[in-house]
Amino acid sequence: MKLFRVLLTTAIILLVLQAETPLRVVALRATKNCSGCRLKGVRIQYADLTGADLSNADLRWAQLDSVNLNHANLEGANLRHARLYNVTTKGTNFCGAVLMDAVKGYCSQP
């Protein structure tokens, strides 16, 4: 019985910690400010993040689909293994960002 309680408590804690990421995405959409956020493995679709501050954010394994990142600040962000589909990045600051193994697909022609 004691083992069951420990396992149940652990599962609940893990669920709460996992729920933190979707809440951060909601906050990011509303405030466009998520400097240093842990967004590992997050999926963001159809978002206007023009001018957003994602400096030093952890976006490893993230999937961004149809996201506007024009003039956003991704300085020092970790985008390792991220997937960017139909993402616009005109004037975006990638200074010091890690883009190793990231993939940008579905490039549209002007």
Q: What is the mean pLDDT of each run of 10 residues along the chain (110 residues)?
A: 79 56 84 92 94 96 96 96 94 91 58
Q: What is the pLDDT of residue 11?
A: 65
Tokens 């890690």 identify what position?
98
Q: What is the pLDDT of residue 66?
A: 96
pTM of the predicted structure, to 2 decimals: 0.76
Q: What is the pLDDT of residue 13?
A: 60
C-alpha angle with apex 55: 54 to 60, nearest 5 degrees? 70
The domain locations on the chain are 2-105
In whole angstroms, give the CA distance from residue 78 to residue 57.
Answer: 6
In whole angstroms, give the CA distance from residue 85 to residue 56.
Answer: 21
CATH superfamily, region 2-105? E3 ubiquitin-protein ligase SopA (2.160.20.80)
Q: What is the pLDDT of residue 109?
A: 43
Q: What is the pLDDT of residue 108?
A: 47
